[in-house]
Amino acid sequence: MMRLPRFHYYRPRDIREAALVLAGEENAMVIAGGTDLLPNMKRRQQTPRTLVALRHLDELKRVTNGSGLVIGAGVTLTDLVQDRGIKSAYRGLWQAAAQVATPHLRNMGTLGGNICLDTRCNYYDQNHEWRKAIDFCMKKDGAICWVSTGSKTCLATSSTDTAPALVSLGAEVELETAHGQRTIPLHELYRDDGIHYLTRSNEEILTRIILPDGAGTRSVYWKLRRRGSFDFPVLSVAAAIRFGAGGAVDEARIVLGAVASQPVLCDSASEFLNDRSLTDEVIEEAAALCARAAKPVKNTDFSPHWRKRAVARLAAYALQELRGDDMRATREKIARQAL
């Protein structure tokens, strides 16, 4: 098997100590489930000198109710999927978490880890020898972007499932350092840059995810991938809608995953839906607006052309499900499972 490089391993007593170590050590990274980081380290995509463990910290594993819901970043995806409250009030998040990777990886992987998931590209997610054979790329050890050799920035794809769902739900995240903390809307955590895809500084630890009260809001998540398990998304649509009296849309938020280096907010589609009822025509129009926002590039499974064509279809499925259509048979075909 591929072997991990050498590294120091810290097991801090609490977040504060973790933050201190992180601030004090050169080239340190946090590790929670390790399902993303450890394979990357084996492939020498990341070679931290020091790992600061978060997985054992109880304060990161709490799910607490307030006006909304606060989920600790260390909650595993399996725990999240087994939380009935999340399943009923934040269905889009639940559907997203339930489709991450495989059951085994969800047992280890955390919500915080999935939010911070490294961007992916099939020129980059290869072992060191393979990348050497193509003379590396700008995301690691090289100078060029092989996806688009004229590109000045890295085009690696945001491949997190939970982030589009959380952004559609209006989630905020709390970041903590040794000196204090800040809370920002989740979408501000991201940047459309495959290398510097997070606005989080290396000293900051993502500690909590804060969701607004879910009452009155319906949400869904549709994920497209070749197989019913394992695969990262090649496209995903997260949508959350608060319906007003009379069934018209009060507020809508549609977010696309895996079509840029960050989750993409479809503002024009979301605004178009305001005060409209989800008729077939309205859904078709909104779905077309979503497709316009998607700019997939050739660095995942499936061709960008086909992924772009699939956006409207998947967005329509999402809106139909939010309207209350029975989408179980379609779900079964797309996701290969009931959700």
Return residues touching another protein (CB under 8 A): 1-3, 122, 125-127, 129-130, 132-135, 144, 146, 149, 226-231, 301-303, 305-306, 309-310, 313, 333-334, 336-337
Cβ proximity to another protein: between 16 and 292 the closer is: 292
Cβ proximity to another protein: between 229 and 268 the closer is: 229
Cβ proximity to another protein: between 114 and 177 the closer is: 114
Cβ proximity to another protein: between 143 and 245 the closer is: 143
Integer Cα distance of 158 and 166 in angstroms: 14
Tokens of 204: 């900051």
Cβ at position 249, least distance to another protein in Å: 24
* Short-list 305, 136, 61, 99, CA closest to 221: 99
Residue 295 vs residues 178, 266, 281, 310: alpha-carbon distances, Å: 38, 12, 24, 12
SS3 call for 51:
strand
Integer Cα distance of 65 and 162 in angstroms: 19
Cβ at position 238, least distance to another protein in Å: 19
CB atoms under 10 Å from CB of 180, counted, come to 8
Instruction: Give the position of tokens 């709490």.
Output: 62
Cβ proximity to another protein: between 202 and 337 the closer is: 337
Cβ at position 126, least distance to another protein in Å: 7
Instruction: Decide: 207 and 57 in contact? Cβ < 8 Å.
Output: no
Cβ at position 144, least distance to another protein in Å: 7
Integer Cα distance of 325 and 279 in angstroms: 11
Amino acid, single-letter form, for residue 298: K
Integer Cα distance of 40 and 51 in angstroms: 13
Cβ at position 93, least distance to another protein in Å: 21
Cβ proximity to another protein: between 3 and 179 the closer is: 3
Question: What per-residue string of b and e applies to 104-141 under the rule 16 or more CB within 10 Å gives b?
Answer: ebbebbbbbbbbbbbbbbebbbbebeebeeeebbbbbe
Cβ at position 230, least distance to another protein in Å: 6
Cβ at position 83, least distance to another protein in Å: 23
Cβ proximity to another protein: between 146 and 272 the closer is: 146
Tokens of 257: 């995953």
Q: How many CA atoms lie within 13 A of 220 on its CB side?
A: 21
Cβ proximity to another protein: between 46 and 127 the closer is: 127
Cβ at position 234, least distance to another protein in Å: 11
SS3 call for 33:
coil
